[in-house]
Structure 1
Amino acid sequence: MSEHEISRNDTHIRVAGNDSPEKRVLNIGFMALTDAASVIVTATQGFAEKYGLTLNLQRQASWATLRDKLLSGELDAAHSLYGLIYGAQFGLGGASATDMAILMGLNQNGQSINLSHGLKFAGVTTSDALNMRAHQKGAKLTFAQTFPTGTHAMWLYYWLASQGIHPLDDVDSVVVPPPQMVPHLKARRIDGFCVGEPWCAQAVEENLGFTLATSQSIWPNHPEKVLGCTRTFVEHNPNTARALIMAILEASRFIDENEENKRSTAQLLSGGEYVDAPLNVIQPRFLGQYQDGLGHAWLDAHPLRFHAEGAVNMPYLSDGMWFMTQFRRWGLLRDDPDYLAVAQQVHQLGLYRQAAESLGIAVPEVMRSSQLLDGQVWDGSDPVGYARSFSLNALADSTAVGL
């Protein structure tokens, strides 16, 4: 067994007949983030081969590059930001509007908002102190997120707004690829960032900043990365898409099965061809063990998770609709779309249900209800009203975010 192989027991499944994958060798994109774990484990630990697939993993330098390669067909599918898929669906951020598909959820939780060592030294270590600093006269604070329509932008905007800080007026927002967050913080180009792990933990480990909020404190068990592709790929390769879902479902279940599997997965991720980060900055938060750089440590009640008996992997319609409400809230969309109809087009519920049921994995309802940190309850029942319900918004201003 090589240093990157994970020990497990399974049986080989033959895929044949009418269920045979139309395309057996797939190019799969991913970013250097720990929440790419299920895709990496699927490709490297034999889960894909069980379903007649070979996955060529291709690490991308930025989310914009990943999106462009998805749209061009250079990538068949990818570990994707939820909002990246919806941004491409609407043609936001310079991309042509393209019919997109979400095959499954890949993970929940596990992102953070970090502030710089300079702000820590200045005593800006609480949301109240940050509010005061953001409203002082002089140079605005600069915060980085990873993609204009991505999850990190939405968590950053939502959290800032919940603290009384307008994310488009009171601070500046810039886009930085995930692995470049810590170098940007070190060079003092930014005052804080929102990104996935292990880059938040690395900033803490190197004493370059501290974690002020986790994304799960904004929305416990929130949607995060998805398995995304174009709808054309699904239409041409439905058996392949279903087989890919099944393979990743099995890998997801394996990762969440026990701590030993999580530890071995963290070791795999640390490899230079994957996340390329020290194990000591990947493993603790992968296991839910947090230190914030301010002297606080805790075992998080809502850590990064990949399966949770299928609750993570269901592509809930309400999750997709939530991102559209935030696009509308912040002026990314000038008009209200037909929220439910668009989500029904993007989310491949039929394929997901077939894959999950064939593995004996529970399939939850397509809508779910959640309460976010500001007390707002989201259940998908009134997306138009929800988008307008916030005291801080920019419904009429799409130029402020540069799209």
Structure 2
Amino acid sequence: MSNKPLVLSRRRFLQAGAALGSAVLLPGMMDSAWAAGSDAPEQNTVKVGFIPLTDCASVVMASVKGFDKKYGISIVPSKEASWAAVRDKMVSGELDAAHVLYGLVYGLELGIAGKQQAMANLMTLNNNGQAISLSMELAKQGVTDGESLKKKVISQAPGSFTFAHTFPTGTHAMWLYFWLAQAGINPFTDVRTVVVPPPQMVMNMRIGNMQGFCVGEPWNQRAISNGIGFTAATSQSIWPDHPEKILGTRREWVEQNPNTARALVAAILDASRWIDASDDNRRETANVLAGRAYLNTKAEYLTGRMLGQYDNGMGKTWQDNHAMQFFRDGEVTFPWLSDGMWFLTQHRRWGLLDHDPDYLAVAKRINRIDIYQQAAAAVGNVSLPSSPMRTSTLMDGSTWNGGHPAAYAASFAIKREGE
């Protein structure tokens, strides 16, 4: 199906909804979305959780730059210590919404990331910008990439090497597993994997608790700057323009606060477009995020990779064509159904699911394209695709477009049976 952009204005909202298909729209939504006096936010204040990572940028800047006030709400960013904390506070209602791992929300929906909870993905917050870091101790032993890592791993007893990710069903686990498997390393039998909160990654590598990790920025750059590790792979080298963090919440909250949900997405859409508008805006964003209230680090750890300027810590530098992006004319932020379905295929591949779910039905339940459409109309001049599916090519040469998900999940040579 074509992904040709459709520029959405408020007046063309109905036609755009039809282009995406009635299956992804709420019954009656188009009749009342813009009824006079009916679209005021139900909540004036919206508490949004975030983990101190570069890709929380659009949530923070929506508040700092006042985009939230434009839509009648006040976003209160809430700094959290771990993804488990984000999960628990989101489920309990202590947080209205959160900057959250894509796979965490899908895992909650299916009861494999905690107690089952009906969830919602309101928009994608960013593409790209994560990495797999290996220790300088491995580098001293000649390990520089997946191929050399495999030689080192198979020369030792199974489980001799430890690698960390941030949450069992999250994005970083999936990038790490995919990369290891592509190198011929089974992440469940050849090595040991553990969960570590992002801000604790560098410290744990420093004291020798692990030989590698997959996490978001600025922690990969921090490992390089501290002389502890190097970047073995970026997540965009695994899947160029992959989905990463999303704006997640409970389905119940959306049903109770549909206008607030729309206003929240609209504010973050505006912030996303502003960040991507210029390098100067990205530098300003990096400076804001470096502050004590957010990442509490040096801006230099954020700025380079936000601008696509990469140094792997081993002498290689490059301008990355698929660095972290926040808007790209709405292509980044749209909640593609195929993106959510891909994470389900990897949950199945790695035994987190013991059967094939109804992939498309799950994605349609979670990804609230209806709310996103309304927000895009409120913002104006945001492009929408003609299909909620997109086509991507991953590092193993496989093409993913949302078609035949069960066969795709079963197609990998290295996988794990359900527990």
What is the deviation of 1:16? 7.9
In the alignment, the residues of structure 2 paired with residue 209 and residue 158 of structure 1 have an alpha-carbon distance, to the nearest angstrom, of 20
Q: CA deviation at 1:136?
A: 1.5
Is 1:387 aligned to 2:409, yes or no? yes
Structure 2 SS opposite 1:179: helix
**Corresponding residue for 1:334?**
354
1:114 corresponds to 2:133: yes
The one of 167, 181, 189 equivalent to 2:187 is: 167
Say whether the 8 Å CA contact 1:109–1:215 is kept in structure 2. yes
Residue 185 (structure 1) aligned with residue 176 (structure 2)? no
Equivalent residue number for residue 56 of structure 1:
76
What percent of counterpart residues are identical? 51
| 1:203-236: CA deviation from partner (whole Å, max 9, x where unpaired) | 0111101000000000000000000000000000
SS in 2 for 1:331: coil
Match of 2:389 among 353, 362, 367: 367
- The match for 2:303 is 283
Say which of 169, 176, 183 aligns to 1:156.
176
Q: 1:186 to 1:243 in 2, by over 3 A?
A: same
CA distance in 1, matches of 2:292, 2:343: 33
**Structure 2: how far apart are the matches of 1:127 and 1:160?**
7
Correspondence for 2:124 among 105, 110, 116 = 105
3-state SS, counterpart of residue 382 of structure 2? coil
Deviations 1:188-211 (A, max 9, x none): 101000000000000011110100
SS at match of 1:303: coil
What is the aligned partner in structure 1 of residue 153 from structure 2? 134
CA distance in structure 2 between the aligned counterparts of 1:109 and 1:181, rounded to whole angstroms: 19
Task: Tell me, yes or no, if the aligned pair for 2:391 and 2:400 is still in contact at 8 Å.
Answer: yes
- Report the secondary structure of 1:342's partner residue: helix
Runs of 4+ in structure 1 deviating by more than 6 angstroms, as ranges, are: none
Q: Helix, strand or coil for the counterpart of 2:384?
A: coil
Distance 1:279 1:245 in 2: 27
| Aligned-pair CA distance for 1:357 | 2.9
User: How does the TM-score come out when normalised to structure 1?
Assistant: 0.93
Please point out which of 82, 85, 101 is paired with 1:65: 85
TM score, norm. by length of structure 2: 0.90
Q: Deviations over 1:337-389 (max 9, x none)?
A: 00000100001011111211331201112000101000011010100000000
Instruction: Map 1:223-262 to 2 at 5 A.
Output: 223-262=243-282
Q: Distance in 2 between matches of 1:200 and 1:184?
A: 13
Which whole-Å CA distance do the structure 1 matches of 2:75 and 2:269 have between them? 15
> Match of 1:46?
66
C-alpha contact 2:124 2:243 (8 A) present in aligned 1: yes
Counterpart of 2:18? none
What corresponds to 2:418 in structure 1?
A: 397
Q: After the TM superposition, which residues 27-42 of structure 1 pair with which residues of structure 2 at under 5 Å, given as runs? A: 27-42=47-62
5+ residue gaps, structure 2, are 1-34
Q: Distance in 2 between matches of 1:269 and 1:132?
A: 39
Structure 1 residue 124 corresponds to structure 2 residue 137: no
Q: For the Cα contact (< 8 Å) 1:101–1:347, is it kept in 2?
A: yes
What's the offset of the Cα at 1:92? 1.3
The 8 Å contact of residues 357 and 363 in structure 1, kept in 2 or not, is answered as no
Moved more, 95-104 or 352-361: 352-361
Please report how far the alpha carbon of residue 54 of structure 1 lies from its aligned counterpart in structure 2 after TM superposition.
1.0
Distance in 2 between residues matched to 1:397 and 1:76, nearest whole Å: 33
Distance 2:37 2:45 in 1: 18
Deviations 1:19-47 (A, max 9, x none): 10011111110000000000000112101
From 19, 35, 48, give the equivalent of 2:39.
19
Amino acid at match of 1:390: F
| SS of corresponding position for 1:362 | strand
Ranked by relative contact order (alpha carbons within 8 Å, sequence separation 6 or more), the top structure is 2
Counterpart in 2 of 1:319? Answer: 339
Q: Which moved more, 1:276-285 or 1:136-145?
A: 136-145
Whole-angstrom CA distance in 2 between matches of 1:57 and 1:16: 30
8 Å Cα contact 2:61/2:271 also seen in 1: yes
Counterpart contact for 1:71–1:230, Cα < 8 Å = yes
SS at match of 1:17: coil
| Aligned alpha-carbon RMSD (Å) | 1.1
Structure 1 window deviating more from structure 2 (352-361 vs 318-327): it is 352-361
Q: Which runs of 5+ in 1 are unaligned?
A: 1-14, 399-403
* One-letter amino acid of the counterpart of residue 352, structure 2: L
